[in-house]
Structure 1
Amino acid sequence: MKNKVLLLTWSALITVVLLASLSFARQGTGLIGNVFSDFNDFSWQLDEFYDIVGPTKLNSIDVEEAKKNITVSDDEIERHRYRYGTLADQLSNIHDQYAQRIADAKDAGNELLMNTLIEERDMKLADIRKNFESDAHVEAKIRKEKEKALVQYLNDVKANSFSLPVAYEFTDVETGETYSSGDVSVPAVYKKQFNAAKGYFKANSLPGHNGTNGWIRTSDYGNQAASEDIQITTSVKTFEGTVIVPKSAVAKGGVLYSQYKDFNKGRLATYVFWLLGIIALITLLTVMKFQKEWVTGTAIADWYADLKIDLKAAAFFMTALILVGYIDSKSSNLSNFFTYQSLGRWGEWLTSFLIGGVVMTTLFAFQLVNGVERWKREGVLAKDIKNSFTLQFFKALREMFLKRSIGVQSFILLIGFFLAGIGFIGGFIDGIFLMIYAFCVLFLGLPALYIFVRRSAYLNRIIVATEQMASGRLNEDIKIEGRSPLADHAKNLNNLREGVRISMTEQAKSERLKTELITNVSHDLRTPLTSIITYTDLLKDENITSEERAKYVDILDKKSQRLKTLIEDLFEVSKMASGNLELNKQRVDLTQLLQQALAEHANQISESGLDFRTTIPEEMLIAHVDGQRWWRVLDNLIVNAVKYSLPGTRVYVTLRKVGDSAEFVVKNITKFELSENVDELFERFKRADTSRHTDGSGLGLAIAQSIVDMHQGNMKIELDGDLFKVTVTVPTK
Structure 2
Amino acid sequence: MKHRSLLFIWAALVVIVLVSILSLNRQGFNMIGKNFAESGNVSWGLDEFYTTIGPSELNPIDPTEAKKQITVTENEIEEHRTRYGALSNQLADIQGQYKDLIEEAKNVSNEVLVNALIEERDIKIEDIKMNFKDDTHVEAKIRTEKEQELAKYLHEVKSGAYSLPIAYELKNVDTGEVFSSGDVSVPSIYKKEFNSGKGYLKAHSLPGQNNDEWTYYDYGNSAIHEDNIEAMANPVQSFEGTVIIPKKAVEKGGVLYAQYTDFNRGKYALYTFWLLSTLALIALFTVLKFRKEWVTGTDYDARYGAMKIDIKVIGMLATALILFMYVDSASSSVVNLLQYPRLGRFGSWTVSFILFGVLPTALLAFQIVHATERWKKKGTIEADLKDSYAVQFMQALQTMFLRRSIGSQTFILLIGFFLAGIGFIGMFIHPILFVIYCLCVLFFALPISFIFVRRAAYLNKIIIATEAMATGRLNEEIKIEGKSPLANHARNLNNLREGVRSSMSEQAKSERLKTELITNVSHDLRTPLTSIITYTDLLKDETITPEDRAKYVDILDKKSQRLKTLIEDLFEVSKMASGNLELHRQRVDLTQLLQQALAEHADDIAQSGLDFRTDIPEEMLTAYVDGQRWWRVLDNLIVNAIKYSLPGTRVYVTLRKTGNMAEFIVKNITKYELGENVDELFERFKRADASRHTDGSGLGLAISQSIVDMHGGTMKIELDGDLFKVTVAIPIS
TM-score where L is the length of structure 1: 0.60
Q: Structure 1 CA distance, aligned partners of 2:83 and 2:322?
A: 54
Q: Structure 2 CA distance, aligned partners of 1:404 and 1:106?
A: 78
Aligned position for 2:630: none
CA deviations on 1:645-690 (whole Å, 9 max, x unpaired) are xxxxxxxxxxxxxxxxxxxxxxxxxxxxxxxxxxxxxxxxxxxxxx
- The two structures, once aligned, show a CA RMSD in angstroms of 4.1
CA deviations on 1:558-604 (whole Å, 9 max, x unpaired) are xxxxxxxxxxxxxxxxxxxxxxxxxxxxxxxxxxxxxxxxxxxxxxx
Aligned position for 1:390: 390
Q: Structure 2 CA distance, aligned partners of 1:280 and 1:89?
A: 78
Q: What is the CA distance between 1:170 and its match in structure 2?
A: 1.6
Secondary structure of the residue aligned to 2:209 is coil
Q: Structure 2 CA distance, aligned partners of 1:378 and 1:456?
A: 46
Give 2:477's aligned amino acid.
D
Judging changes above 3 Å, is the alpha-carbon distance between structure 1 residues 88 and 202 closer, same or farther for their aligned structure 2 residues?
same
Secondary structure of the residue aligned to 2:50 is helix
Q: Structure 2 CA distance, aligned partners of 1:275 and 1:216?
A: 46
Give 1:231's aligned amino acid.
N
Q: How does 1:454-469 map to 2 (within 5 A)?
A: 462-463=462-463, 465-466=465-466, 469=469
Judging changes above 3 Å, is the alpha-carbon distance between structure 1 residues 294 and 215 closer, same or farther for their aligned structure 2 residues?
closer
Q: Structure 2 CA distance, aligned partners of 1:260 and 1:324?
A: 32
Aligned position for 1:274: 274
Judging changes above 3 Å, is the alpha-carbon distance between structure 1 residues 486 and 318 closer, same or farther for their aligned structure 2 residues?
same
Q: Structure 2 CA distance, aligned partners of 1:3 and 1:452?
A: 55
Aligned position for 2:545: none
Q: What is the CA distance between 1:190 and its match in structure 2?
A: 0.5
Aligned position for 2:250: 250
Aligned position for 1:190: 190
Secondary structure of the residue aligned to 2:357 is helix
Q: Structure 2 CA distance, aligned partners of 1:29 and 1:74?
A: 54
Secondary structure of the residue aligned to 1:307 is coil
Q: What is the CA distance between 1:160 and its match in structure 2?
A: 0.7
Give 1:35's aligned amino acid.
N
Q: Structure 1 CA distance, aligned partners of 2:394 and 2:405?
A: 18
Secondary structure of the residue aligned to 2:99 is helix
Give 2:189's aligned amino acid.
V
Give 2:102's aligned amino acid.
I
Q: How does 1:333-732 map to 2 (within 5 A)?
A: 334-335=334-335, 337-339=337-339, 345-407=345-407, 410-411=410-411, 462-463=462-463, 465-466=465-466, 469=469, 474-478=474-478, 485-486=485-486, 488-498=488-498, 501=501
Secondary structure of the residue aligned to 2:296 is coil
Aligned position for 1:708: none
Given that residues 153 and 219 in structure 2 are in contact (C-alpha distance below 8 angstroms), is that contact kept between their aligned partners in structure 1? Answer: no
Given that residues 56 and 157 in structure 2 are in contact (C-alpha distance below 8 angstroms), is that contact kept between their aligned partners in structure 1? Answer: yes
Aligned position for 1:231: 228
Deviates further, 85-94 or 67-76: 85-94
Given that residues 216 and 229 in structure 1 are in contact (C-alpha distance below 8 angstroms), is that contact kept between their aligned partners in structure 2? Answer: no
Q: What is the CA distance between 1:471 and its match in structure 2?
A: 8.0
Unpaired runs of at least 5, structure 1: 221-225, 509-733
Q: Structure 2 CA distance, aligned partners of 1:190 and 1:217?
A: 33
Secondary structure of the residue aligned to 1:190 is strand
Q: Structure 1 CA distance, aligned partners of 2:129 and 2:366?
A: 82
Q: Structure 1 CA distance, aligned partners of 2:191 and 2:361?
A: 47
Judging changes above 3 Å, is the alpha-carbon distance between structure 1 residues 493 and 88 closer, same or farther for their aligned structure 2 residues?
same
Q: What is the CA distance between 1:230 and its match in structure 2?
A: 7.2
Aligned-pair identity (%): 57
Count of matched residue pairs: 496
Judging changes above 3 Å, is the alpha-carbon distance between structure 1 residues 195 and 426 closer, same or farther for their aligned structure 2 residues?
same
CA deviations on 1:616-639 (whole Å, 9 max, x unpaired) are xxxxxxxxxxxxxxxxxxxxxxxx
For the pair 1:311 / 2:308, whether they are aligned, the reply is no
Aligned position for 1:634: none
Aligned position for 1:260: 260
Q: What is the CA distance between 1:270 and its match in structure 2?
A: 0.4
Secondary structure of the residue aligned to 2:191 is strand
Give 1:290's aligned amino acid.
F
Aligned position for 2:130: 130
Aligned position for 1:13: 13
Q: What is the CA distance between 1:8 and its match in structure 2?
A: 1.9
Larger-gyration structure (1/2): 2
Q: Structure 1 CA distance, aligned partners of 2:104 and 2:193?
A: 73
Aligned position for 2:620: none
Given that residues 94 and 121 in structure 2 are in contact (C-alpha distance below 8 angstroms), is that contact kept between their aligned partners in structure 1? Answer: yes
Given that residues 169 and 243 in structure 2 are in contact (C-alpha distance below 8 angstroms), is that contact kept between their aligned partners in structure 1? Answer: yes
For the pair 1:88 / 2:88, whether they are aligned, the reply is yes
Given that residues 215 and 231 in structure 1 are in contact (C-alpha distance below 8 angstroms), is that contact kept between their aligned partners in structure 2? Answer: no
Given that residues 146 and 224 in structure 2 are in contact (C-alpha distance below 8 angstroms), is that contact kept between their aligned partners in structure 1? Answer: no
Judging changes above 3 Å, is the alpha-carbon distance between structure 1 residues 277 and 131 closer, same or farther for their aligned structure 2 residues?
same
Q: Structure 1 CA distance, aligned partners of 2:365 and 2:138?
A: 75
Unpaired runs of at least 5, structure 2: 509-733
Secondary structure of the residue aligned to 1:231 is helix
Q: Structure 2 CA distance, aligned partners of 1:124 and 1:46?
A: 51
Q: What is the CA distance between 1:507 and its match in structure 2?
A: 14
Secondary structure of the residue aligned to 2:312 is helix
Q: Structure 2 CA distance, aligned partners of 1:30 and 1:446?
A: 63
Q: Structure 1 CA distance, aligned partners of 2:268 and 2:218?
A: 46
Secondary structure of the residue aligned to 2:203 is strand
Give 2:233's aligned amino acid.
T
Judging changes above 3 Å, is the alpha-carbon distance between structure 1 residues 467 and 384 closer, same or farther for their aligned structure 2 residues?
closer
Given that residues 216 and 230 in structure 1 are in contact (C-alpha distance below 8 angstroms), is that contact kept between their aligned partners in structure 2? Answer: no
For the pair 1:111 / 2:119, whether they are aligned, the reply is no
Judging changes above 3 Å, is the alpha-carbon distance between structure 1 residues 108 and 230 closer, same or farther for their aligned structure 2 residues?
farther
Judging changes above 3 Å, is the alpha-carbon distance between structure 1 residues 370 and 50 closer, same or farther for their aligned structure 2 residues?
same
Q: Structure 1 CA distance, aligned partners of 2:352 and 2:424?
A: 44
Q: Structure 2 CA distance, aligned partners of 1:146 and 1:412?
A: 60
CA deviations on 1:28-82 (whole Å, 9 max, x unpaired) are 3442211111111111111111111111110111111111211111111111111
Aligned position for 1:101: 101
Q: What is the CA distance between 1:152 and its match in structure 2?
A: 0.9
Q: Structure 2 CA distance, aligned partners of 1:88 and 1:344?
A: 70
CA deviations on 1:171-225 (whole Å, 9 max, x unpaired) are 22222322222222221101112233333221111111345789765745xxxxx
Give 2:173's aligned amino acid.
V
CA deviations on 1:305-349 (whole Å, 9 max, x unpaired) are 221111101110111122223323433564455345556654554
Judging changes above 3 Å, is the alpha-carbon distance between structure 1 residues 215 and 359 closer, same or farther for their aligned structure 2 residues?
closer
Q: Structure 1 CA distance, aligned partners of 2:344 and 2:146?
A: 49
Judging changes above 3 Å, is the alpha-carbon distance between structure 1 residues 494 and 347 closer, same or farther for their aligned structure 2 residues?
same
Q: Structure 2 CA distance, aligned partners of 1:273 and 1:218?
A: 46
Aligned position for 1:290: 290
Give 1:65's aligned amino acid.
E
Given that residues 219 and 228 in structure 1 are in contact (C-alpha distance below 8 angstroms), is that contact kept between their aligned partners in structure 2? Answer: no
Secondary structure of the residue aligned to 1:152 is helix
Secondary structure of the residue aligned to 2:319 is helix
Judging changes above 3 Å, is the alpha-carbon distance between structure 1 residues 64 and 273 closer, same or farther for their aligned structure 2 residues?
same
Deviates further, 312-321 or 188-197: 188-197
Secondary structure of the residue aligned to 2:163 is coil
Give 1:46's aligned amino acid.
L
CA deviations on 1:456-495 (whole Å, 9 max, x unpaired) are 7875664565466568763343466898754552343124
For the pair 1:158 / 2:158, whether they are aligned, the reply is yes
Deviates further, 305-314 or 112-121: 112-121
Q: What is the CA distance between 1:263 and its match in structure 2?
A: 0.7
Q: Structure 1 CA distance, aligned partners of 2:24 and 2:44?
A: 23
For the pair 1:121 / 2:121, whether they are aligned, the reply is yes
For the pair 1:206 / 2:203, whether they are aligned, the reply is no
Q: What is the CA distance between 1:503 and its match in structure 2?
A: 9.4
Aligned position for 1:139: 139
Give 1:234's aligned amino acid.
A
Q: What is the CA distance between 1:156 and its match in structure 2?
A: 0.9
